[in-house]
Each structure stands twice: as C-alpha cells, then as structure tokens.
A and B are shown apart, each in its own frame.
Chain A
Amino acid sequence: MPLQRLRPLAVPALLLAALEAYARTAGAGSDALAPPSAALAAWGRAFTDRSLFEASAFTLGGAALGLAIGAGLGLAAGMVLGLAPRAARACTPAIELLRPLPSVALIPLAMMIFGFGLWMEACVVAVATFWPLTILAQAAVRQVEPQWLEVAQVLGLSPWARATQIVLPAIVPRLFTALRLGAGIALVVAVTVEIAANPHGLGYAMSLAQQSLDPALMLAWLGWIGVLGYAVNAGLLHAERALRARMGVA
C-alpha cells in the first residue's frame, strides 16, 4: 500500500505547502519567513559557492575535536571511578558540585582565554561532553561481569593491564552508545557556541543570514543543521548496530 507509506509525510508536506502559500501571498517580503522553495534555492547557492562546506567543516570539526578531548578524559575518569570505589566516594561531592554548571555558561570564559576560533569552541564542547561520558563510562565499568575481574585477579594482572585488557574490551558496546549520545551533545553545543559568540561555522552563518534579513538563507541553514544532526545520529546508530552484531551483543 504505497499511499499508507506516505502518511507520515502528509503533515510536514501540508505545513510546508501552507508556509509556501503564506510566504508567497500575505507574508511576501517578510523578514522572518520565506517560502521553502526559496530556502531550497538559497541552499543551492550556498552549495555552489562552497560556503556550505566551509561552515559545515568548521562546526563538525569543532564538535569532533571537543568530543575527542571530552570523551577521552571522560573515559579515563570514568574507568578510574568505576574501578576504584574509594576514589568514586571521594570524588562524588566535587563532581555533583561542578556538574550542574551549564556548559554554555563557560562560553564567556572560553572567549576570554582563547579568543574566537576553533579552540574556544572545542573547549566548551569538551567540558559539555566530559561529564556525561564520565558518568556513562563509570556505569559501564560497574556492569562488567565480576567473574572477569576475578579472572584478572587470578592472572595477577597489574591495574593497567586489568583496565586495558579486561575492562576496556568488555565495555566497548556501551561506550559506543555513550559516544553517540556525546556526539549529539557536541553538535548541539558547537552550534550554540557559534550562535552565542564564535563568528564561524553553521550557527554563525545562520545568525548572519537572519541579521542581513535573508529569511530564505536562514531557513536553508536551519534545515541543513537539522539534516546534518539527523545524518550524524543515523550514521552512528548504524555503526553501533554493526559493531554490536560483530561482537555478538544483542
């Protein structure tokens, strides 16, 4: 039944058609809204003058760099906290004290230290992804089968060998889920930094389009940010399933 399959698209298509009709008649010349067809044309122009690729590369690069730093440190901290209960008890109050601070509040501080650019964005993304990755890695380590840790003890493995040869392989599937969540956070924070302060990337391109009263281009960037976020998540979800299938985890 091909018509049944199209049902999910009906409401969005109707809304887009309504926006198209409104923006071409009553709302013509509006500074806020533009017809979707004009937004698509604006996207095409950004594609041909390569600004689409430059902005996307900056945002994705900033998000990836920040995620690499935040996830790397978070993984290390989470493994230490998961393997050493005494360290976890000692650190919990300090963590609960620092974690409620919204990472975006650090944008002004990062701006002061790094100025504008890639590092300031990566720094805020790193802080934003560090806490969730720490907590998810800690939870993953705690769910490792106790027998495996006993095997490590019987084999007389050093703490380093125990962490890298027993624990790390055991938590890979859960870590990948954590990394996918982290990637979502990283992209959101990267765009937020660009909208709030950093004059680069997708967020800034979108703000600039709004400030220069070009609603078609603004909607084109907004749609593109949505598509990129959707694609990154779908790609990682696919990779996660493939990884789980290969490792034989449901």
Chain B
Amino acid sequence: MGAPGVHRPAAWSAWAISPDALALLGTLLALWWLASHGEWVNRAFLPTPEATLASLAAGLGLQGRPGALGGFLLATLQRVLLGGLLAAAAGVGLGALLGSSAAARVWLQPGLEFLRPLPASAVIPLAIAVFGLSPSMVLAVVVFGAMWPVLLATLHGMASVPRQLREVAALLQLGRVATVTRIALPHALPDIFSGVRLAMTVALIVSVVGEMVASQPGLGQALLLAARSFRAADLFAGLVLLGATGSAIHAMLAFAERRLLAWQRP
C-alpha cells in the first residue's frame, strides 16, 4: 500500500479487450436500447442511445449549427486544469514546507488535519459569501478541495527519502532549500504525480458541483438545466461527455507520468 488514496495508474494492458469484454459491452448497450425502446423505464428518464448520440452531435456543433455543449466543455476543462495546477502548486509548496521543517509540522499540521476532512463542497457557501457567485469562487473551492491529495503525497514522498541521499546532501553541504529542491522533491515526484492524478479527479468533481450551485458556464450547469427541463437526451449527452472528459484527463496524466518519470525506472 502506498500513501492513503494513492494508487498506481491502471496499466493499459488491462484494456486489452477480450471477446468476453466486448460481449459484455455489447450486452449493456443492447440492454440500454431495449430498455429505452421497450419503455421498461419511463422515456422521460432514459433516452434511447440514438437520441443521446444525436443530442451529443448537435451539442458539439457537428451538425452544421454551433452547439452549446462544446463551449461548456471548454469552460469546465479550463476550470479543472487551472484549478488542478494551482492546487498542485499549493500542495507541493505546503508539503515541501511541512516535509522539510519539524517546526512547521508541530505548529501547522494539527490545524491542517482538522481542515482536511472537511468536504470541499461544504466550503461553497462560505466561498459564495466571500467571493460572490463568481468564477473565482468556484476556482477557490476547487483549489481548496484538490490541494489535499498533493499535499499528502508530497509529505509521504519526502518522508521516504533514503538515508544515503540525506547523507549525500549533508556531505555536499547543501542548504535546506537546495536539499528540498534537488533531492527531496525529485525523489518524491512519483508520489506527487499520484497525488496530482487524484487531485484532477477531485478538481473535476468540485468544478461540476460549483457550476451547478453558482450557475457558472460549464458541464455541471448544462446537466442541471437539462434535468430541470426534463431533456433526458441532453442530460445523457452531458453525462457521456463528462465521463469521456474524466477518462481523457486520466489517460493524459498517465501518459505524462510515464514520459516524465522514465528516468526513475531502473
């Protein structure tokens, strides 16, 4: 087991699609088709696969006329990436401070331990009171929520620097800052990456909630509006797009991790 909540990326070999898996996916799709066409479930809740696909194509502007979904997707992506980056910077910075200084741990860690389990969404009303119903409100909550996995992973990675490396740093008479930036943080990079991957998942979740609550443009708002007006096909199109976005972010980070951390592997 690694640090809490940190797991290795799913190897792409897990994706080697077997005939069984293909059959299962086909069965699920067929069940959806049957359930929606046979009206096993109220059509108001479960659109047909074709209607969902058509709604997705129209929303992305693939049918000539510009659609709204593409813009919402870009807005959400921008929020997630910016929030995730700020959270990673805050998490690594705070983690490096706590990881390198026993005094900082004694004074700050207990307070942080109390803040950490607080649901990010519970901070939304406070953020609304402080920032108003604005994009910066959503961004602040995203950073608050997504910072913790990076912070924990940085701490964990820095705590596991081997004794030999510490001795090398002492031998070279590196200062505290140089020890952190040249030895401890590079050693902690694999852990930090796992933390960032988790942080991006949190950032996507909090962005969607923030868009729903504060009515900021994005996929969260698109979903809520579609549900309020009982446009089930649009709702499912949004869900498909959101799921695909989550997968794409994960795949990109796994790819970046393999490329950037190639030097760590023996």
Contacts and interface: CB of A to CB of B under 8 A. Distances in A.
The answer to whether A and B interact is yes
Interface of A: 7-12, 15, 31-33, 86, 89-94, 96-98, 100-109, 111-113, 184, 187-188, 191-192, 195-197, 203, 206-207, 209-210, 215, 218-219, 222, 225-226, 229-230, 233
Contacts of A109: 45, 227, 235, 239
A105 B242 contact: yes
B213 interface: yes
6 contacts: A8-B107, A112-B230, A196-B121, A210-B125, A218-B125, A225-B122
Contact of A191 (B121, B128, B208): B121
Interface residues of B, number: 58
Given A90-B23, A91-B21, A108-B226, A102 B208 contact: yes
B253 to A, nearest CB: 12
Given A89-B21, A192-B209, A184 B117 contact: yes
Given A91-B24, A219-B126, 5 more contacts: A32-B129, A93-B15, A97-B247, A100-B246, A102-B208
B242 A90 contact: no
Interface string B100-142: 0000001111110011011111111110111000000000000
Contacts of A187: 119
Nearest to A90: B20
Nearest to A232: B117
A188 B119 contact: yes
Interface of B: 10, 14-15, 17-18, 20-21, 23-25, 28, 44-45, 106-111, 114-115, 117-126, 128-130, 201, 204-205, 208-209, 212-213, 219-220, 223-224, 226-228, 230, 232, 235, 238-239, 242-243, 246-247, 250
A222 B126 CA distance: 8
A230 B122 CA distance: 14
Contacts of A206: 122, 125
A101 B242 contact: yes
Nearest to B110: A8
Contact of A98 (B10, B230, B243): B243
Contacts of A233: 117
B125 A111 contact: no
Nearest to A4: B106
